[in-house]
Chain A
Amino acid sequence: MAEPMKIRTKMVDGAAQIFVLMIHPMETGQRKDPRSGQAYPAHYIQHVLATLNDKPVLDMQCGPAISKNPVFGFRVKGAKPGDKLVVAWEDNKGEKSRSEATIA
């Protein structure tokens, strides 16, 4: 099972500023093992879906160019402290993770 995400939120000018850190290798499939010359197989997050009180707020698709241990920051206007945030991701190998947080 994937490590849980770290989620930080704070209110800025009536919007919730949300930062999500995911623990993931984000292997591009282009990096080669210097000993064998074989490329490490690609392993990266393809989908990220964030919902606030069950309504989707960010529906993102990613390629392998996102850095290892990805960080995503976004802002939701009209969000209120106490709102329930759920973030889920799925990678190209079908591994998944889901974390919950409350808007601070």
Chain B
Amino acid sequence: MEQARVNHLRRLILKGGGAGGVLACALAAGVLRPSLAHAADWNKAAFESKTLADALKHIGAEGAAESADIHIKAPEVAENGAVIPIEVSCRMAGAESIALLAEKNPFPLMAHAVLANGTEGYLNTRFKMGQTSVVKVVVKAGGKHYIASREIKVTIGGCGG
């Protein structure tokens, strides 16, 4: 079923006039790495992990090395836990993916982005957090995982009813 959904998404992308043919040629020529196609399956095990350690394990980032080259820009105190802006940028060359995790969220893994074809090690988004927690950012570069942490205090949670 997961596979079917991914195919749907791909079809959606291909819908643009003539683009399908171009992409099919690119695939046939092996220009697009097959690993990217695999990365497109929603990682249910990782997103449904209830602990940070499990989530890290399921994205293959166990034992990631602490790095000072990952810069996390986020408020120290978030007044509204439902909308916390975060900007991640990393100085190491060849960033392949960025994952965002919040230790105390019911499901710690928040997002996992695979970067390709010139996309820089940078990601900007907004996320929810129910309570004060340490936020972890995992960057994969040159086949190795690096991790950085940052505590964000929440005065009003963003997950409760």
Contact = CB atoms under 8 A, between A and B. Distances in A.
B23 to A, nearest CB: 5
A79 interface: yes
A96 B160 contact: no
Interface string B55-82: 0000000000000000000000000001
B53 interface: no
A58 B161 contact: no
A11 interface: no
Contact of B8 (A19, A65, A86, A90): A90
Interface string B112-131: 11111111101111111100
A15 B9 CA distance: 26
B16 interface: yes
Interface residues of B, number: 52
Interface in A83-104: 84, 86, 88, 90, 94, 96, 98, 100
Contacts of B128: 26, 28, 64-67
19 contacts: A57-B117, A58-B114, A58-B116, A60-B112, A60-B113, A60-B114, A64-B128, A65-B111, A66-B111, A73-B122, A75-B119, A75-B120, A76-B117, A76-B118, A77-B118, A77-B119, A86-B13, A86-B16, A98-B13
**Across chains A and B, which 5 residue pairs bring their CB atoms closest together, nearest first?**
A73-B124, A32-B161, A65-B110, A60-B113, A67-B126
